[in-house]
Structure 1
Amino acid sequence: MQQLKINGGHRLVGEIRASGAKNAALPILAASLLTADDLVLHNVPDLADVRTMLKLLAGMGVKVQREGTDVILNASTVTSTIAPYDLVKT
């Protein structure tokens, strides 16, 4: 199929909310260490791996604030670059 043609009398408008994905959220959370500015993430899933990453970042000195599915991070106060073993062990 080379094309898909849709005939209709109404133009599509509106908004959709994409579901949060752990595998997308984790590297973005880690990237928060690269800026001293506030980083606001929306629709972050409340999963064990995400909570562990937030604890890890907080333990390194990142200011972490969670409001529902939003997460606000600020890494301007990082005090350590060493991850606590109990959080990163497999």
Structure 2
Amino acid sequence: MVIRGGRPLSGRVEVSGAKNAVLPAIVASLLIDEPLTIGNVPDLRDVETQLALVEALGKAISRDGDTIVITGEASRAEAPEEVVSRMRASFLCLGPLLARFGEAHVPLPGGCVIGARPVDLHLEGLRRLG
């Protein structure tokens, strides 16, 4: 996908109902105040954890079958450790929180131990952004 600037983005993107597609989309909702509707959302514990995270950060969640609607405004820059400690992908909220608030407090993520998955790449990317 190539996006050239100069025009506001709007529309729909069809994405398969995969966990690794929906988890980043959920935390991306922290960047906007408009409602975000995501369809074809798999019914998984990690999805529920990510939804609990954005809810703890100020968003409201509603669900109808495999569709979720995320509304409201992110109002906190501090992710609760009790949620972040449950899942590795919760660390994805760091970038949107930094962009929105200019600072973020996100504990190191938890989740299953399936080998080395350092967060160094995320931190280095954020360092390079300034």
> Under TM normalisation by the shorter chain, which class is it?
0.7 to 0.9
**Unmatched 5+ residue regions in structure 2?**
1-14, 86-109, 111-130
Using the TM superposition, give the Cα deviation of residue 19 of structure 1 relative to its aligned residue in structure 2, in angstroms: 4.7
Q: Write 1 or 2 for the structure with the bigger share of strand.
A: 1
- Note if 1:88 corresponds to 2:52: no
> Of residues 39, 48, 52 in structure 2, which corresponds to 1:55?
52
The 2-side partners of 1:31 and 1:79 are apart by: 14
Q: Which has the larger radius of gyration?
A: 1
- TM-score of the pair, normalised by structure 2: 0.52
Structure 2 CA distance for aligned equivalents of residues 70 and 35 of structure 1? 18
1:1-90 equivalences under 5 Å are 19-76=16-73, 78-89=74-85, 90=110
Note if contact 1:63-1:74 (Cα within 8 Å) is conserved in structure 2: yes
CA distance in 1: counterparts of 2:65 and 2:33, whole angstroms? 23
More helix by share: 2
Counterpart CA distance in 2 for 1:88 and 1:37 is 24
Give the C-alpha shift of residue 28 in structure 1: 0.5
Letter in 2 for 1:58: E
For 1:49 and 1:21, locate their aligned partners in 2 and report how far apart those are by CA, in whole Å.
11
8 A contact 1:32–1:39 mirrored in 2: yes
Q: If the length of structure 1 is used for normalisation, what is the TM-score?
A: 0.74
Whether contact under 8 Å (1:33, 1:75) holds in the other structure is no
SS in 2 for 1:52: helix
Higher RCO (CA 8 Å, separation ≥ 6 residues): 1
CA RMSD between the two structures: 1.6
**Size of the alignment, in residue pairs?**
73
Output one character per residue of 1:35-65: Cα deviation in whole Å (capped at 9) or x when no partner.
1101000011110100000001111110111
Query: In the alignment, residue 71 of structure 2 is paired with which amino acid?
Result: N
